[in-house]
Amino acid sequence: MKFVYFDNEEEMSPPEMDSTVNVATGNFIEMDGTSTKDIKIFEANDPILKSDTGFIKYIQIIAIDKENKAKAYGNFQLNNLNVKLPLADKLNHKFENFSLPEKGTLPNTTVIKKI
């Protein structure tokens, strides 16, 4: 049994059982004994990981036999809540990547408009 994964910006349809999987468009998951090695979907400096609006990406993993026939599958949604994100940029003293605190609109509040 081998495993191949596909990533996409949209949800993917489930494969039909015993259908031939086009492995040329996917990536194989390397096995390390009885477990799998890490799957790399994003580069560490990928701008999508620092997006203020978050992101959604879909992964489908398919178990295939020697003839690339689908035997099982799983669909997963990746987003900013379940992906390890890179460290935030360090604040600099020239106020280039943050603003000074200002009085908030409610009593006893402070606002930092840019960070």
Query: What ranges make up the beta strands (E) of 1-115?
Result: 2-8, 27-28, 31-32, 35-36, 56-64, 70-79, 102-103, 110-111
Note the pTM of the prediction, 2 decimals: 0.69
Residue type, 53: T
Q: What is the pLDDT of residues 38-87, one digit of tens each?
A: 788 888 778 888 787 888 999 999 999 999 999 999 999 998 888 877 77
Q: Give the CA-trace dihedral at 52, 13, 44, 25, to 10 degrees.
A: -140
pLDDT category at 88 given cuts 50, 70, 90 is low
